[in-house]
C-alpha cells in the first residue's frame, strides 16, 4: 500500500464518528489526511443501511441528541448537514407509564433557574419540587461512587424520570453506574436549563446526518479514504509509531506523520502494547417496525414500566430502543418483536397484528459505565509522541455517546503534533 502523501500526513484508523470528526477538523485545517476503515462502509455504530426484510433504509440504532450537544452540532455544521437534525423549538419530553397508562409532558423552562419544578403541569405527576433536589448530589459526586451510593434510587421520580433517563444515557443499570458520569450528563442537560435539553433526531437517518456528508466533504478536501483496510499491527521504534501493517501491505510513517487510532477498545488493546481500556460492555436492543406512525404520534415517547423504553416515530416506521439489554440477547427475535409490538400497539393506538419487523441486537454497544470501567478509560495521548487515541471509550468526561465520540475526535485533532 503506497503512502498517501509525503511528510505531515495524519493517518486516522477507524471511520466511526471519532475518526470522521478528527479527519474533518484536520482536513479543514489544511492537514493532509489518510483515513482507513476495516469495514466496507463508514459510521461504525452510527450508520444507516438498507434492510431487505423491511425494504427500508434504517439506522443500526436510534440515537437522541440534545440541543446542548455543542460538538455534535458543530460537526454537522462543518459537513453542511445541520438541517438534518430536527426537534421542537422548546424542551418537551412526552412519557407514558404503561402500568396505569398515565401520560405527561416534562417541560423544563429554558433558563438555568429551574422554576419548572414548581409547576405541576411541567413536572412528573406524583412528585414534589423538593424531590428534584436529590439529583443535585450527582453534581458533587465523589470519584468512584455509584449512583446508588449517591442518590435515592426509589420512588415515583426515580421510576418515572431519573431511572429511565440515566439508563438511556449510561446504558448501564443506574444503581451500579458511575455517579460522576451521571453528574456530567446532568450538568450539561437539565442543570444547564431547558435551552440545552431540546431533543433532536436525525430526520432522514444517521447516515445522511453524520456519515455521507462527512465522506463527501473529506473527498472535496482531498483526503484519501480507504475501505476494507483492516489494521493488523503497528510497529514502534523509540518514541514513535513507524509502520502500519495491513496484512500483506504496509504504510510507512514519515518523521512528521501522525497516527490517530479511532477503533473500538478491544481492537485498540490488541494494537497498542500495555494499553488499559474498558473491557466490560453493555448491550442495546432496537426493534424496527415497518408501519407509518399514526397522526399525532410524538417523535419521541418515553415508556415507563414496560419492556420498551423509548419509542421513535419516523415517517416510514416505528422504532423502539431498549438500553442495558444484556438480559435479552439470547431471547428469540420473533418473541421479542411480538412482546415489544404489543406495547407499541397500545400506546400508538394500532392493531395487534405484527407488522414487518427487524430486531437489531448489539452486544457490545457501549462500555459499562461503572466506576471501575470509568477508571480504565485512557486519555488521548499515549507514550508514543505521534500516536493518539479517539473514541467514546476514551476519557471524554461523558458516557459513550455521539457527543463524546465527536469530542474525542476533536481532542485528538487538537493534540496532533
For residue 101, pLDDT beyond 50: yes
- Of the candidates 197, 226, 249, which is a domain's last residue? 197
Q: Is residue 338 part of a domain?
A: no
For residue 319, pLDDT beyond 70: yes
Which tops the pLDDT comparison, 115 or 7? 115
pLDDT of residue 376: 98
Residues 283-289, mean pLDDT to the nearest whole number: 97
Statement: the pTM of the whole predicted model exceeds 0.85: yes
pLDDT of residue 152: 96
> pLDDT, tens digit, for every residue of 9-51?
999 999 999 999 999 999 999 999 999 999 999 999 899 999 9
pLDDT of residue 60: 87
CA 396 to chain centre: 12
Q: Is residue 291 part of a domain?
A: no
Name the residue among 343, 331, 292 with its Cα closest to residue 314: 292
Q: Is residue 189 part of a domain?
A: yes
Cell numbers for 409: 475526535
Residues 193-220, mean pLDDT to the nearest whole number: 96
- Of the candidates 146, 175, 197, which is a domain's last residue? 197
pLDDT of residue 2: 41
Number of structural domains, the chain? Answer: 2
Residues 65-82, mean pLDDT to the nearest whole number: 97
> pLDDT, tens digit, for every residue of 390-416?
999 999 999 999 999 999 999 999 999
Name the residue among 210, 162, 270 with its Cα closest to residue 63: 210
Q: Which residues pair with 98 in a beta bridge?
A: none
- Computed over every residue of the chain, the mean pLDDT equals 96
For residue 339, pLDDT beyond 50: yes
Q: Is residue 355 part of a domain?
A: no
Do 269 and 391 share a domain, yes or no? yes
pLDDT of residue 410: 98
pLDDT band at 4 (very low <50, low <70, confident <90, very high): very low
Do 244 and 114 share a domain, yes or no? no
> pLDDT, tens digit, for every residue of 256-269?
999 999 999 999 99
Domain that holds residue 217: 9-47+206-279+370-415
For residue 305, pLDDT beyond 80: yes
pLDDT band at 6 (very low <50, low <70, confident <90, very high): very low
Q: What's phi and psi for 126, nearest 5 deg?
A: 80, 10
Residues 379-386, mean pLDDT to the nearest whole number: 98
pLDDT band at 1 (very low <50, low <70, confident <90, very high): very low
Do 266 and 394 share a domain, yes or no? yes
Residues 344-366, mean pLDDT to the nearest whole number: 97
CA–CA distance, 188 with 168 (Å, rounded to integer): 15
Do 161 and 237 share a domain, yes or no? no
pLDDT band at 360 (very low <50, low <70, confident <90, very high): very high
What CATH code is carried by the domain that includes residue 274? 3.50.50.60
Share of the chain above pLDDT 90, in %: 96
Amino acid at each position: 500500500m503506497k503512502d498517501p502523501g509525503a511528510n505531515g500526513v495524519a493517518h486516522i484508523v477507524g471511520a466511526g464518528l471519532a475518526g470522521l470528526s478528527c479527519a474533518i477538523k484536520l482536513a479543514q485545517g489544511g492537514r493532509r489526511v489518510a483515513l482507513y476503515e476495516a469495514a466496507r462502509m463508514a459510521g461504525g455504530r452510527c450508520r444507516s443501511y438498507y434492510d431487505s426484510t423491511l425494504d427500508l433504509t434504517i439506522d443500526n440504532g436510534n440515537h437522541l441528541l440534545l440541543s446542548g450537544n455543542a460538538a455534535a452540532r458543530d460537526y454537522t455544521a462543518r459537513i453542511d448537514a445541520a438541517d438534518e437534525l430536527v426537534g421542537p423549538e422548546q424542551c418537551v419530553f412526552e412519557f407514558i407509564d404503561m402500568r396505569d397508562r398515565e401520560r405527561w409532558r416534562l417541560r423544563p423552562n429554558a433558563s438555568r433557574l429551574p422554576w419548572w419544578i414548581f409547576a405541576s403541569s411541567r413536572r412528573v405527576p406524583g412528585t414534589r419540587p423538593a424531590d428534584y433536589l436529590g439529583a443535585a448530589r450527582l453534581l458533587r459526586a465523589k470519584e468512584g461512587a455509584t449512583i446508588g451510593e449517591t442518590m435515592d434510587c426509589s420512588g415515583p421520580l426515580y421510576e418515572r424520570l431519573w431511572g429511565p433517563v440515566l439508563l438511556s444515557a449510561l446504558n448501564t443499570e443506574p444503581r451500579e453506574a458511575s455517579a460522576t458520569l451521571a453528574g456530567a450528563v446532568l450538568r450539561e442537560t437539565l442543570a444547564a436549563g431547558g435551552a440545552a435539553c431540546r431533543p433532536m433526531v436525525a430526520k432522514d437517518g444517521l447516515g445522511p446526518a453524520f456519515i455521507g456528508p462527512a465522506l463527501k466533504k473529506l473527498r472535496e478536501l482531498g483526503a484519501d479514504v480507504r475501505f476494507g483496510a483492516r489494521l493488523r499491527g503497528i510497529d514502534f521504534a523509540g518514541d514513535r509509531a513507524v509502520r502500519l501493517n495491513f496484512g500483506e501491505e504496509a504504510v510507512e510513517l514519515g518523521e512528521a506523520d501522525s497516527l490517530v487510532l479511532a477503533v473500538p477498545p478491544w481492537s485498540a488493546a490488541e494494537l497498542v502494547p500495555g494499553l488499559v481500556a474498558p473491557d466490560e460492555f453493555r448491550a442495546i436492543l432496537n426493534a424496527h417496525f415497518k408501519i407509518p406512525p399514526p397522526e399525532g404520534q410524538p417523535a419521541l415517547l418515553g415508556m415507563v414500566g414496560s419492556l420498551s423504553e423509548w419509542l421513535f416515530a419516523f415517517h416510514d416506521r416505528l422504532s423502539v430502543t431498549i438500553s442495558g439489554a444484556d438480559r435479552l440477547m439470547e431471547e428469540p427475535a420473533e418473541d421479542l418483536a411480538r412482546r415489544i409490538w404489543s406495547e407499541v400497539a397500545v400506546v400508538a393506538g394500532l392493531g395487534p397484528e405484527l407488522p414487518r419487523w427487524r430486531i437489531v441486537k448489539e452486544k457490545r454497544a457501549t462500555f459499562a459505565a461503572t466506576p471501575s470501567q470509568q477508571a480504565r478509560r485512557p486519555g488521548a495521548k499515549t507514550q508514543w509522541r505521534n500516536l493518539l487515541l479517539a473514541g467514546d471509550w476514551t476519557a471524554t468526561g461523558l458516557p459513550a455517546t455521539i457527543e463524546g465520540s465527536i469530542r474525542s475526535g476533536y481532542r485528538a485533532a487538537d493534540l496532533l503534533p
